[in-house]
């Protein structure tokens, strides 16, 4: 008897044997095609828990992934801190229009953080997803890592420059963002999510040096994961060529690491083996070359290549582009199914 | 200080991403009678050197951003002098550049803008989150023949196509050279949306702009 997607992914995250490689999208997977198939659309689905759940359920009911997730954008926390958000309408994700703070201003934490902004809608969506698809599919709540929240409330340029010039001035922002992430994670777990995704896309080596990652991003990721305390598994996603810091990412205590195909997964797995690190790695199907622009054959090849490199779960590198054809996403699931069982 | 030393220090100010030193040395170079074009060349060498280290992952984005600030500081002093000298020469070619609507990534676009300015183009930076209509308005207002649009996210790349479709719909597509670039952009994508060119990085974009505009 095969496992359900939920069982398969949980087994993988908990270090148990699964019947085959799980397939999921660690980051957002909504496309225009999925909106049409589910009848729920952006921008409503960013704000309304029922619409959000209906759209995300498409991950299970249409795409047959082993996990579903909410929300879609990375602005939920920053909005509550007071960053101005620009709505993306039907076709785009909300983005930061104006950061909440200038460097030096105190990052005051709004009280009742998880009752504000779009968090209640996210929590409602998690409850609904659990009810609707949660028996067979893992329901994941996604939040933004403290370093990236700091970037979204201070501005990316200001944060990056200060990381070299005035690193000490950034600490209050990281601390605040970590504290609110703890509260948010708690609420996500209470709503019934069975896994948490931490997206810390600004902690990428495309943006910062390994030293900055180790000093300013990893400690807060680790603290957040410690506060979750193993109640649910945590998948951490960081973009870019992370090879130089993969051991540091593993040391945050995450249950799995989601990476881009820029990472040499085979080499990292070998390094992990030598050091006795067993953290699973998810990836690395290129969202543009394979999923968006590729043929079904290209997608199948990318899935095969990821498996051969040694990933422990098949996932796109990063957020799926909203104009990605649904057929290509389906091919990712089907190609994962055709892979030989793991030993 | 000898001219050679000033130029050496000027370049070093970029490698050290020292904004204050860059400004000071740019002033010194003018006071010493150094050709501002030569001074800008030295600054560009410094940026290029950092660019190579960046590709090798020896330096990272924050260093590049601060170096770019240092460069702009020096340029603010040198550029007016170059313009004074060039009044008898031909006019610099205007280019509008921006990151597309919905995308607030600034850094890569800034680098391209900086390199285009170094290469002698008159660069109008529209910033980030730029709507297709605004690209057109500004290009018209400024008499720019070139529109450079960056997208750094898989979720905003379709907006480059929106921009080209918008120009088509307004019946002005053939009046502009549209360049696209950004981390998620490929030559294939540029071909698919019928952009006039794809710049893989700042240096490639400068060469592309020169080639398409038939300037040396």
For a pLDDT cut of 90, what percent of chain A falls above it? 94
Compute CA distances B161 → A31, B45, B72, B190, whole Å: 17, 34, 31, 9
| Residue A1 clears pLDDT 70, i.e. is over it | no
Nearest CA to B43 out of B74, B64, B21 is that of B74
Q: How far apart are CA A76 and CA A121, in angstroms?
A: 10
Interface contacts (A, B; CB < 8 Å): 81
Last residue of some domain: B86, B116, B136?
Answer: B86
In a shared domain, residues B151 and B80: no
pLDDT of residue A69: 98
- Determine which helix (DSSP H) or strand (DSSP E) holds B55, and give its type and residue range: helix B36-55
Quick one: B68 and B121 in the same domain?
Answer: no
Q: Is the pTM here over 0.90, yes or no?
A: no
Instruction: Single out the residue in B42, B57, B86 at which a domain terminates.
Output: B86
Contacts of B102 in chain A (CB under 8 A): 86, 88, 92-93, 95
Residues of chain B positioned with their CB less than 8 A from the CB of A86: 102, 129
Q: Same domain, yes or no, for B106 and B76?
A: no
Mean pLDDT, residues A50-70: 98
- Note down the domain range covering B62: 3-86
CB contact under 8 A, B186 and A97: no
Q: How far is B105 from chain A (nearest CA, A)?
A: 8
In CATH terms, the fold of domain A5-13+24-338 is TIM Barrel (3.20.20)
ipTM of the complex: 0.81
How high is the pLDDT of residue A343?
46
| Contact between A93 and B102 using a beta-carbon 8 Å cutoff | yes
Q: What is the DSSP string of A254-316?
A: -SEEE--TTS-HHHHHHHHHHHT----EEEEE-IIIIIITS-HHHHHHHHHHHHHHT-SEEEE
Alpha-carbon distances of A192 from A125, A127, A195, A287, rounded to whole Å: 10, 6, 9, 29
DSSP state of A213: I
Q: How far is CA B89 from CA B43, B82, B85, B123, in A?
A: 23, 11, 8, 18
Instruction: Name the 3-class secondary structure at B81.
Output: helix
What's residue A157's pLDDT?
87
Q: Does A157 touch chain B (CB under 8 A)?
A: yes
Residues A262, A259: Cα–Cα separation, whole Å: 8
DSSP bridge pairs for A234:
A196
| Widest distance between CA atoms in chain B | 58
The pLDDT of residue B40? 85
Question: And the tokens for B170?
Answer: 């307004």
pLDDT tens per residue across span A279-327: 999 999 999 889 998 999 999 999 999 999 999 999 999 999 999 999 9
Predicted pLDDT at B86: 61
Q: Look at B102 and A287 and tell me if their CB atoms are within 8 Å.
A: no
> Do strands A281-285 and A256-258 pair parallel, antiparallel, or not at all (unpaired)?
parallel
Contacts of A163 (CB under 8 A, 6+ apart): A170, A208, A212, A216, B62
Residue A123 has pLDDT above 70, yes or no: yes
pLDDT in tens, A253-273: 999 999 999 999 999 999 999
- Three-state DSSP class for residue B214: coil
| CATH code at position B8 | 1.10.1240.10
pLDDT of residue B49: 86
Does A92 sit within 8 Å of B101, measured CB to CB? yes
Residue among B134, B141, B211 at smallest CA distance from B179:
B211
B70 and B118, same domain (yes or no):
no
Q: Smallest Cβ distance to A161: which of B59, B65, B155?
A: B65
The CATH number for B117's domain is 3.40.50.280
Domain count for chain B: 2
Cα distances (Å, whole numbers) of residue A62 to A57, A91, A168, A324, B68: 8, 20, 47, 14, 47
**Do B107 and B160 sit in the same domain of this protein?**
yes
Confidence of residue B87 (pLDDT cuts 50, 70, 90): low
Claim to verify: residue B146 and residue B56 sit in the same structural domain:
no
Provide the pLDDT confidence category of residue B165 given band limits of 50, 70 and 90: very high
Look at residues B68, B86, B104 and tell me which one is the last residue of a structural domain: B86
> What pLDDT score does B82 carry?
76
In a shared domain, residues B69 and B117: no
**Beta partners for A141?**
A70, A196
Of B76, B74, B79, B116, the C-alpha closest to B94 is B116
Q: Would the pLDDT of A342 be above 60?
A: no
Q: Does B61 touch chain A (CB under 8 A)?
A: yes
């Amino acid at each position: 008897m095969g496992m359900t997607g939920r069982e398969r992914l949980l087994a993988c995250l908990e270090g148990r044997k699964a019947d085959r490689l799980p397939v999921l999208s660690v980051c957002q997977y909504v496309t225009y095609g999925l909106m049409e198939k589910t009848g729920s659309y952006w921008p409503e689905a960013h704000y309304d828990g029922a619409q959000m759940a209906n759209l995300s359920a498409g991950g299970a009911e249409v795409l047959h992934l082993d996990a579903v997730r909410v929300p879609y954008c990375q602005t939920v926390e920053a909005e509550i801190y007071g960053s101005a958000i620009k709505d993306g309408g039907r076709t785009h994700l909300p983005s930061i229009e104006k950061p909440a703070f200038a460097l030096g201003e105190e990052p005051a934490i709004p009280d009742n953080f998880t009752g504000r902004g779009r968090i209640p809608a996210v929590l409602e969506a998690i409850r609904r997803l659990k009810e609707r698809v949660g028996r067979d599919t893992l329901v994941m709540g996604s939040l933004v890592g403290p370093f990236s929240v700091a970037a979204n409330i201070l501005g990316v340029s200001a944060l990056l420059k200060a990381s070299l010039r005035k690193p000490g001035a950034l600490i209050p922002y990281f601390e605040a963002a970590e504290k609110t992430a703890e509260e948010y994670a708690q609420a996500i777990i209470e709503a019934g999510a069975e896994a948490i995704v931490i997206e810390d896309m600004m902690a990428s080596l495309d943006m910062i040096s390994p030293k900055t990652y180790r000093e300013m991003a990893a400690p807060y990721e680790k603290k957040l994961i410690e506060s979750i305390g193993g109640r649910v598994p945590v998948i951490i996603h960081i973009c870019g060529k992370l090879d130089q810091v993969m051991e540091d990412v593993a040391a945050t205590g995450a249950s799995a690491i989601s990476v881009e195909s820029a990472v040499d997964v085979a080499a990292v797995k070998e390094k992990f083996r030598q050091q006795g690190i067993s953290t699973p790695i998810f990836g690395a199907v290129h969202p543009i070359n394979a999923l968006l622009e590729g043929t079904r054959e290209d997608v199948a090849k990318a899935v095969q290549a990821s498996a051969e490199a040694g990933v422990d779960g098949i996932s796109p590198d990063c957020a799926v582009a909203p104009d990605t054809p649904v057929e290509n996403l389906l091919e990712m699931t089907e190609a994962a199914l055709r892979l030989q069982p793991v030993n | 200080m000898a001219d050679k030393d000033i130029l050496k220090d000027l370049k070093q100010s970029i490698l050290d991403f020292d904004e204050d030193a860059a400004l000071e040395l740019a002033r010194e170079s003018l006071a010493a009678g150094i050709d501002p074009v030569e001074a800008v060349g030295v600054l560009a060498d410094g940026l290029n050197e950092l660019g190579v280290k960046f590709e090798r992952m020896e330096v990272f984005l924050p260093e590049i951003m601060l170096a770019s600030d240092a460069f702009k500081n020096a340029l603010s002093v040198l550029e007016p002098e170059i313009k004074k000298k060039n009044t008898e020469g031909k006019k610099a070619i205007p280019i509008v550049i921006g990151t597309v609507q919905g995308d607030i990534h600034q850094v890569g676009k800034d680098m391209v803008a900086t390199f285009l300015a170094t290469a002698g183009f008159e660069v109008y930076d529209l910033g980030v989150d730029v709507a297709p209509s605004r690209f057109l308005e500004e290009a018209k207002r400024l008499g720019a023949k070139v529109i450079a649009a960056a997208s750094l996210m898989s979720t905003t790349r379709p907006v480059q196509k929106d921009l080209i479709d918008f120009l088509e719909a307004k019946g002005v597509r053939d009046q502009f050279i549209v360049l696209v670039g950004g981390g998620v952009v490929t030559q294939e994508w540029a071909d698919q949306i019928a952009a006039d060119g794809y710049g893989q990085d700042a240096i490639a974009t400068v060469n592309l702009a020169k080639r398409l505009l038939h300037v040396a």
